Structure 1
Amino acid sequence: MFMLHLNACGLINGYRIVWKTLKFVCESKVNSTLCIPNVMAPLRVLVTGAAGQIGYAIVLQIAKGDVFGRNTPVFLVLLDLPSMATVLEGVQYELQDCALANLLGVECVTTEREAFTDIDYAFLVGGLEQVVAKSQKSKTAQCY
């Protein structure tokens, strides 16, 4: 029995980029070789309010592997209001530019039906726009 490490890599503008490291445990038999992947199953993770400051910070921590572990691949689903769609796409491009090892992909959605389909975990982050003229009572009423 031996451990085999495979790197999926490519060249971008002359730089070698390694974006995936797969570990295989191989066991040789008489006429065949059996290889079993030694990585966690990918998780589909939803973050609501991802275009905001708190959502942006959480998304980066999840993508780096600080939340579910460095060996757990994640696919992020980012949800926000339709008016924030361009900001959401900016977050998506920034995550893709980071070339994080366990980030499988990013999907930006603006409807709850799309967002909550087949997810494993959800981070429900959201807030209200700051309006100076509102009283505390009207802010509380808007929250509930």
Structure 2
Amino acid sequence: MASHSSRFAYLFLKALKELNKNRPSSPSIRDTYRRYNLIRVSAYGLMASAVRPRRAWSRATLWKIRNRTFLRALMKRSRTRSLTRRVPARGNPKKGLGCKLVKDLRKLVPGGEEMKFCRLLNETSHYMKCLQAQVQIMRNIVDHYST
């Protein structure tokens, strides 16, 4: 995990340096929001890159980032189509609270929709460790530059 963290920290600082080169002198709200999104996407992408494609969540995250322009185009097209609302099919009513929690977990972990339960738990634990490392690294960066 330490090598992932140091790789992420190095790549993240490099990305922030590049983003600061293109920073407008008087940013508007739109520019600030755009920078926020760029930093957020680069943080997730660099975290997934640091882990490399060994984990399903990192592959899913990288795939999502690479294809987000394609997905945005699809969303624009779907908004212009008819405004009729589709009612989703109801699931099995016999499934209880445990099934809902597993569904929620599958939505949270990138790529979790297609995983078996044991693999999902393993990927979730690794994903949480990486998110904790990411937060700690970002805190360290802020502490370093704010003093």
Superposition TM-score, scaled by structure 1 size: 0.25
Structure with the higher fraction of residues in strand conformation:
1
- Structure of higher RCO (CA pairs closer than 8 Å, 6+ residues apart): 2
Structure possessing the higher radius of gyration over alpha carbons: 1
Superposition TM-score, scaled by structure 2 size: 0.25
